[in-house]
């Protein structure tokens, strides 16, 4: 291995991994305590760019109109359009949005619905 290649490899190993921040994070949760917990686990920088909504219709509309939303933490059991249906509708129009499903329902029941 030449010295130049070795130096380049070593410098890339020493670099700290870059943290990815989402422009905006949408938390869709109808329980305020759960929302506060989810918001707390985000970094300070992400908390400053968080939107809180409580139902599926609002979540779908927000994702369709606010292109800065790049991550959604979606409660499965919410009023109106449930989290699974809201996720399908969002992904249909905005497939690049990352959506993490959140539920206190046993996973076997949730997976069957997917």
Domains, the chain, with CATH or none: 18-113 (3.40.50.2300)
The pLDDT of residue 6 is: 47
Q: Which of 1-5, 8-12, 67-71, 104-108 has maximum average pLDDT?
A: 67-71
- Contact by Cβ (8 Å): 83, 74: yes
**10 pLDDT exceeds 70?**
no
Work out the pLDDT band at 13, boundaries 50, 70, 90. Answer: very low
The pLDDT of residue 108 is: 52
């Amino acid at each position: 291995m030449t010295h130049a290649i070795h130096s380049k490899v070593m410098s890339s190993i020493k670099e700290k991994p870059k943290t990815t921040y989402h422009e905006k994070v949408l938390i869709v949760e109808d329980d305020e305590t759960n929302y506060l917990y989810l918001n707390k686990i985000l970094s300070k920088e992400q908390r400053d760019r968080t939107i809180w909504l409580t139902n599926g219709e609002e979540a779908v509309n927000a994702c369709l109109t606010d292109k800065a939303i790049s991550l959604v933490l979606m409660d499965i059991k919410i009023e109106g359009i449930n989290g699974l249906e809201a996720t399908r509708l969002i992904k249909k129009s905005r497939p690049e949005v990352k959506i993490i499903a959140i539920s206190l329902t046993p996973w076997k029941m949730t997976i069957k619905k997917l």
